[in-house]
């Protein structure tokens, strides 16, 4: 990076980001308000007693966890009576409509039009065009069959995906028979007592207890801001949509927690009654879908263009005045160019890959997402629960300027003392951990140690620790009931609770815990040896030292503080309130720091190393402290190099004197993100190792948008409700199944069933292999176009007898070709490192970013702006159309079109060169040599063939090679009768067909050669290739050598198998050329290989507890 950025540099850096800062206009949902008023919900108006009576249930507003709820038998009876709590899915396309969509794809439409044309010709001249009856019928039948194969594959893949989704049903925590349990959301019934926090609401609920609960109703009402919800004992006399005590099905709880009673389920809920608001599918296409669509249009255009050219050439030469035959000839050219089986191959490839990934615990919700994972260039991953085990253990406590260890560790410094509950400050720390907590237990009738704790990992770790040092946990909680609380949220980063705990000056105590910097800001004193001392600079220095000691080991650090509330201010009648700040928020006493370790998961270190060696930039986006995040990142291969801070510490130079180009890693604090400018974002993303710490969900979304603006294909892993916007926005959202919320699973395209981050490596490899296999399949399939089209060209230009009739072209394309093309789906990687050591197929580097930004800058300079507001004036549809028509006549258009690109597309110049010019020419030469040899053996030299064919245009015209043709005298003076002419043509056309088949059998292996010659187990190890070849061979022999079929296909049983040796020799030549090509392309392949990364640790994380970081 440059040390000084010029104005032009900054202007270029801002280009491409301008759309991110543009304000979006809020669209109104037409008629939505009227529909929201006409819903059948009235229970929100009832007082609690009447509500319990109407629903025939029982709940306790003061102690919701002790609510009896429904009995298990009653819940079953109600489920049978009212039905499952599921919404009727939106109306899907019928099977017929789906089949018609497949039928009306570009390739099939071309075939149907060609078939109809043949029947039109039949009506014009029935006698001369009678053989075309078969051709027209077969063309149309092929289109319908092709559509059926694609339709069948789609139906099959949809069934696979549906079975995947059935494996991860949404769940809900509910009280039944007085016990808190987890049940599938579909089993909820009216009257159930439900606990909700940080997830999607499973049914319509009336709140009877709530704590700082906020709900996002935007999916229902369009309100962008989260709405606060409360328990109202007397009910609320308002419209359901405005009721403060109602939570609606499918809305998101973004803050706090609440207890509610179910009043509506399934289609009877608010969202179920408003069919118009149930949402629809998004039309966002994957990169693969876009490329396939582009390829289909390109090939169709080429096919139509060549068909028209050959029609014109044919009607002016060999077919003078014979329009019907010329049309048939043009149709054969059209058929030769169109790879009819491609849609089926694509769907089958993706279905097989999705099944393979499911076996490895990776569920794919969208087939195209499999390939998207293979083309990722950047993966933004959460830390807790994704990279780490989400099993928090208390390791160290710091209080009164002394450090304590909670378990035996050889890595602690000598000054660290063993934890004792009687040590100064430890009792207060345990009280904060135990009383300021939102955890729940699955059962309360078991001893504390045997209970399952329901809550987040940090709280679970703190309660496990506190519970060991409290004799009777349940009695302790009852002894100190809560008076007021503010739950933790991602913006405050602290939680506050006021409990009845007596002291010298009153009966209430306020406890606060959370991010250390936020908690310390609320404190004026600190606790030491049971006394309070004012916070001084010396204390802050010791605090920083302790914080650094804990965080630099990768531990999560929580601060605890307390305030003993004086009864003269906070008496029994004092009303605490969060909204108007009527609660103690300052003058706290700092109790100390607690560190918890969440060790990295096994396999994460190797997984991140593998992804980085595959050219994928992996960055951490976490809410943790920067030091904690960096320490964990260093343990798991995510950060290896120096940051400005670590380099400053190492060299003793001030941070300000260290330039960006001296370091390769960067740790960004969330507080800095909002103020970053375009050029600063560019500097961040230019680093290989990036950690974003102390981030909010909005920051995560912003990071994804900024990365996409630079051309990155972004993957995001997440498990919380707040991750859902980033998961949706990303090119590929990856959610966790065990620790993930229902909302995150819904927003994601892919779900890791076992929460194993290492599964993403398998997914990336699978996605890349799909692309390789699809490319091979296309490369193989379109190779036959050259040996099909060039002989047809010779037929009209030289001319020679027709080497390959249209019907045999169809047999090639949809006979053996389809079998073999499908078999590529089971191909394995060519080499061990061939997939996961190559750069992504659309790499993002300085050159690609600069190119992208230059284009963006040119666009922004041509935009019209309002002179007063300076806002962009959107062009009209007509203006856009005119601009598109003018574009090809501008220099800029051609500069952009011809600009060198490092992207590897599905169909690129190398693929087209191989298929049409290299392998295609070898196949054409083999087919034509065989064609001329067979004719020569039957008495025709090439010159004889030309003479025989030009007789068609002589005056009077003479037609040879039919049953009624006159005898032909060849150049050697031999007389060849009509029957021998017909047999010679049948043999020649048969050998051309078989030549293409035989050389294509060799091509199956030649297309696989990229890193090494086309030999060896990896090349020939796919037995399905041989099955496809065998099926094609059986079909070929059947068509050529079965006499009854000669009427339709024109084969002959008199063709000697010795002629097969000619194409076989050319097949060997193709393998030789393929080997030479590997040598010629070795240098360019080496350049796209990712270089080794110094310092990568590719061994398992054997021991993770309390490993001190080197930095």
Query: Would residue 382 show up in a list of annotated catalytic residues for this protein?
Result: yes
Q: In whole angstroms, how far apart are CA 1074 and each of 929, 1009, 1025?
A: 21, 7, 18
Do 723 and 744 form a contact (C-beta atoms < 8 A)?
Answer: yes
Distance CA 250, CA 220 (A): 9
Q: Which long-range contacts (CB under 8 A, 24 or more apart) does 5-9 make?
A: 5/679, 9/679
CB of 839 within 8 A of CB of 1086?
no
Closest to 204 (Cα-Cα) out of 43, 31, 35: 43
DSSP-H helix ranges across 526-641:
537-551, 604-613, 626-635
Cα–Cα distance between 996 and 791 in angstroms, integer?
A: 12
Contacts of 817 (CB under 8 A, 6+ apart): 341, 781, 784, 1000, 1032
d(CA 601, CA 388): 5
Of the candidates 250, 181, 246, which has an alpha carbon nearest to the alpha carbon of residue 207? 246
Which residues, other chains included, contact 32 with Cβ-Cβ below 8 Å and sequence gap of 6+? 221, 222, 274, 276, 277
Which stretch of DSSP H or E encloses residue 212?
strand 204-216
Biggest CA pair distance of the chain: 131
Calculated CA dihedral for residues 512, 517, 518, 524, nearest 10 degrees: 70
Please name which of 441, 613, 418, 378 lies closest in space to residue 66, comparing C-alpha atoms. 441
Query: Alpha-carbon Rg of the chain, whole angstroms?
Result: 37
List the end-to-end C-alpha distance of the chain, in Å, as a whole number. 25
Q: Which residues make beta-bridge pairs with 563?
A: 510
Distances (CA, A) of 624 to 37, 554, 787, 1023: 44, 10, 63, 51
Interacting residues of 332 by C-beta distance below 8 A, sequence separation 6+: 792, 804, 805, 806, 809
SS3 assignment, position 624: coil
What is d(CA 503, CA 322) in angstroms, rounded to the nearest whole number? 110
**In sequence order, which residues have a C-beta less than 8 Å from that of residue 447 and are 6 or more positions away?**
none
The catalytically annotated residue of 192, 199, 212, 382 is 382
User: What is the separation of C-alpha 250 from the centre of its chain, rounded to a whole number of angstroms?
Assistant: 23
Q: Long-range contacts: 121-125, Cβ < 8 Å, 24+?
A: 121/324, 121/327, 121/328, 124/324, 125/324
Q: Find how far residue 787's CA is from the centre of its chain.
A: 40
Q: What is the DSSP string of 970-998?
A: -TTS-EE-HHHHHHHHHHHHHHHHHHHHH
Is the separation of the CB atoms in 800 and 989 below 8 Å?
no
Active site residues: 382
């Amino acid at each position: 990076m440059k040390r000084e950025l010029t104005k032009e540099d900054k202007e270029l850096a801002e280009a491409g980001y301008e759309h991110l800062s543009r304000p979006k206009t809020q669209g109104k949902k037409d008629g939505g308000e009227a529909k929201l008023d006409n819903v059948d919900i009235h229970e929100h108006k009832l007082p609690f007693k009447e509500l319990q009576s109407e629903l025939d249930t029982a709940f306790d507003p003061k102690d919701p966890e002790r609510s009896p709820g429904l009995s298990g038998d009653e819940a079953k009876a109600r489920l049978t009576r009212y039905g499952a709590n599921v919404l009727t899915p939106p109306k899907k396309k019928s099977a017929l409509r789906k089949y018609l969509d497949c039928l009306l794809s570009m390739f099939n439409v071309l075939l149907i039009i060609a078939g109809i044309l043949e029947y039109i010709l039949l009506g014009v001249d029935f006698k001369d065009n009678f053989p075309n009856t078969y051709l027209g019928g077969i063309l149309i039948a092929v289109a319908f069959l092709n559509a059926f194969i694609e339709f069948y594959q789609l139906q099959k893949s949809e069934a696979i995906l549906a079975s995947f989704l059935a494996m991860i049903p949404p769940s809900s925590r509910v009280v039944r028979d007085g016990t808190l349990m987890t049940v599938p959301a579909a089993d909820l019934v009216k009257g159930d007592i439900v606990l909700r926090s940080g997830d999607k609401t499973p049914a319509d609920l009336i709140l009877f207890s709530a704590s700082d609960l906020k709900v996002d109703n935007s999916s229902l009402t369009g309100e962008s801001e989260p709405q606060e919800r409360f328990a109202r004992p007397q009910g609320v006399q308002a419209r359901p949509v405005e009721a403060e005590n109602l939570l609606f099905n499918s809305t998101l709880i973004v803050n706090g927690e609440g207890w509610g009673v179910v009043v509506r389920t399934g289609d009877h809920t608010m969202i179920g009654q408003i069919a118009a608001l149930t949402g629809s599918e998004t039309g966002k296409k994957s990169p693969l879908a876009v490329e396939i669509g582009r390829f289909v249009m390109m090939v169709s255009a080429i096919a139509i263009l060549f068909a028209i050219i050959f029609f014109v050439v044919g009607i002016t030469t060999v077919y003078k005045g014979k329009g019907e035959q010329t049309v048939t000839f043009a149709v054969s050219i059209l058929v030769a160019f169109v790879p009819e089986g491609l849609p089926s191959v694509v769907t089958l490839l993706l279905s097989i890959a999705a099944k393979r990934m499911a076996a490895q615990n990776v569920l794919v919700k969208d087939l195209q997402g499999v390939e998207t994972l293979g083309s990722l260039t950047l993966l933004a991953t959460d830390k807790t629960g994704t990279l780490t085990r989400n099993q928090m253990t208390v390791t160290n406590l710091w209080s009164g300027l002394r450090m304590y260890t909670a378990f035996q560790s050889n890595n602690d410094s000598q000054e660290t003392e063993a934890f004792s509950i009687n040590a100064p400050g430890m009792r207060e720390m345990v009280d904060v951990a135990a009383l300021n907590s939102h955890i729940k237990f699955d059962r309360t009738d078991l001893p504390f140690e045997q209970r399952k704790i329901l809550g987040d990992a940090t709280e679970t770790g703190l309660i496990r620790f506190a519970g060991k040092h409290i004799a009777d946990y349940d009695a302790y909680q009852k002894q100190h009931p809560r008076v007021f609380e503010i739950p933790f949220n991602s913006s405050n980063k602290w939680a506050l609770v006021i409990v009845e705990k007596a002291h010298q000056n009153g009966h209430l105590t306020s406890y606060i815990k959370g991010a250390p910097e936020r908690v310390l800001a609320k404190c004026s004193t600190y606790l030491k040896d049971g006394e309070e001392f004012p916070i001084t600079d010396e204390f802050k220095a010791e605090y920083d030292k302790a914080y650094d000691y804990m965080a630099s080991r990768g531990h999560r650090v929580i601060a605890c503080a307390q305030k003993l509330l004086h009864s003269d201010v906070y008496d029994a009648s004092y009303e605490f309130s969060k909204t108007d700040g009527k609660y103690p928020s300052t003058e706290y006493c700092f109790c100390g720091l607690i560190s918890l370790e969440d060790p990295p998961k096994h396999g994460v270190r190797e997984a991140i190393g593998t992804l980085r060696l595959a050219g994928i930039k992996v960055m951490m986006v976490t809410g943790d402290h920067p030091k904690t995040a960096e320490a964990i990142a260093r343990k798991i291969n995510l950060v290896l190099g120096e940051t400005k801070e670590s380099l400053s510490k190492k060299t003793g130079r001030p941070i300000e004197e260290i330039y960006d180009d001296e370091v390769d890693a960067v740790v960004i604090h969330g507080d800095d993100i909002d103020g970053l400018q375009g050029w600063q974002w560019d500097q961040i993303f230019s680093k290989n190792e990036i950690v974003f710490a102390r981030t909010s969900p909005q920051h995560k979304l912003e990071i994804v948008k900024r990365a996409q603006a630079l051309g990155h294909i972004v993957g995001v892993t997440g498990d919380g409700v707040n991750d859902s916007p980033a998961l949706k926005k990303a090119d590929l959202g990856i959610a966790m199944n065990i620790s993930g919320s229902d909302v995150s699973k819904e927003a994601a395209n892919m779900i890791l069933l076992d929460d194993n981050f290492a599964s993403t490596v398998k997914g990336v490899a699978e996605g890349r292999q799909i692309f390789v296999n699809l490319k091979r399949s296309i490369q193989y399939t379109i190779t036959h176009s050259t040996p099909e089209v060039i002989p047809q060209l010779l037929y009209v230009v030289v001319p020679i007898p027709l080497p390959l009739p249209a019907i045999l072209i169809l047999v090639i394309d949809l006979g053996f070709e389809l079998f073999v093309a499908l078999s590529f789906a089971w191909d394995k990687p060519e080499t061990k490192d061939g997939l996961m050591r190559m750069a992504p197929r659309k790499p993002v580097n300085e050159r690609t970013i600069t190119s992208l930004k230059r284009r963006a800058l040119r666009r922004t300079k041509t935009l019209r702006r309002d002179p007063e507001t300076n806002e962009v004036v959107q062009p009209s549809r007509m203006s856009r159309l005119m601009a598109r028509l003018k574009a090809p006549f501008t220099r800029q258009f051609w500069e952009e079109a011809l600009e060198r690109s490092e992207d590897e597309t599905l169909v690129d110049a190398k693929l087209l060169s191989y298929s049409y010019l290299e392998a295609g020419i070898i196949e054409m030469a083999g087919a034509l040599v065989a064609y001329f040899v067979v004719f020569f053996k039957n008495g025709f030299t090439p010159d004889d063939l030309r003479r025989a064919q030009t007789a068609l245009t002589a005056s009077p015209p003479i037609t040879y090679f039919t049953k009624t043709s006159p005898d032909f005298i060849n150049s050697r003076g031999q007389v060849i009768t009509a029957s021998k002419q017909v047999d010679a043509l049948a043999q020649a056309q048969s050998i051309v067909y078989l030549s293409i088949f035989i050389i294509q059998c060799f091509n199956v292996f030649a297309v696989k050669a990229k890193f090494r010659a086309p030999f060896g187990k990896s090349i020939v190890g796919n037995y399905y290739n041989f099955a496809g070849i065998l099926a094609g061979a059986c079909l070929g022999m059947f068509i050529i050598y079965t006499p009854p079929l000669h009427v339709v296909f024109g084969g002959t049983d008199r063709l000697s198998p010795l002629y097969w040796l000619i194409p076989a020799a050319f097949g060997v030549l193709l393998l030789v050329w393929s080997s030479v090509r590997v040598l010629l392309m070795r240098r360019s392949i080496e350049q796209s290989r990712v270089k080794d990364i110094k310092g990568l640790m590719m061994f398992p994380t054997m021991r993770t507890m309390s490993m001190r970081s080197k930095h």
